[in-house]
């Protein structure tokens, strides 16, 4: 599935099963909540925190998909084409950082 297809599928889902989009502020709060849930799993699986019994029900891929779903909702309702936005963002990062990371001693890469 492409990003454009994902935006269309989410829009169709919202307008049929979801009834309507929550407003942008509500979706921003939901995005923050979903990122927090993802962070909790990452901290326990890859970080130094241990799993609580209540954390064991979470699925990393599902939490990432929740974040992506709400982000796509926000893009749809604010008129952002995520394919174009990502393309432009990668161009910006490439121009800005083409030598920066190669020269970062903290990354342990030497030219």
Q: Are residues 54 and 95 in the same domain?
A: no
Are the C-beta atoms of residues 40 and 58 closer than 8 Å to each other? yes
Q: Are residues 96 and 111 in the same domain?
A: yes
Q: Are residues 98 and 48 in the same domain?
A: no
Q: Are residues 41 and 60 in the same domain?
A: yes
Q: Are residues 64 and 20 in the same domain?
A: yes
Are the C-beta atoms of residues 72 and 6 closer than 8 Å to each other? yes
Q: Are residues 27 and 63 in the same domain?
A: yes
Are the C-beta atoms of residues 14 and 21 closer than 8 Å to each other? yes
Q: Residue 16 is part of a domain; what is its CATH number?
A: 1.10.287.1080
Domain containing residue 87: 82-111
Smallest CA-to-CA distance from 85 within 65, 100, 71 is with 71
For the stretch 37-68, pLDDT in tens is 999 999 999 999 888 888 778 899 999 999 99
Residue 22 has pLDDT above 70, yes or no: yes
Q: Are residues 75 and 42 in the same domain?
A: yes
Q: Are residues 96 and 72 in the same domain?
A: no
- Domain count of the fold of the chain: 2
What was the pLDDT predicted at 111? Answer: 54
Mean pLDDT, rounded, of the chain: 93
Label residue 101 by pLDDT band (50, 70, 90): confident
Ranges of H-type helices in 79-110: 82-97
Q: How many Å apart are CA 1 and CA 48, to the nearest integer?
A: 35
**Residue predicted with more confidence, 4 or 97:** 4
What was the pLDDT predicted at 109? Answer: 66
């Amino acid at each position: 599935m492409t990003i454009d297809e994902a935006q269309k599928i989410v829009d169709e889902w919202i307008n049929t099963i979801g009834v309507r989009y929550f407003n942008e502020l509500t979706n921003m709060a939901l995005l923050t909540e979903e990122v927090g849930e993802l962070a909790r799993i990452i901290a326990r699986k890859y970080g130094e925190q241990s799993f609580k019994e209540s954390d064991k029900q979470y699925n990393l891929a599902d939490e990432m998909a929740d974040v992506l779903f709400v982000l796509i909702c926000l893009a749809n309702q604010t008129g952002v084409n995520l394919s174009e936005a990502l393309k432009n963002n990668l161009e910006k990062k490439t121009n800005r950082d083409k030598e920066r990371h190669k020269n970062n001693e903290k990354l342990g890469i030497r030219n």
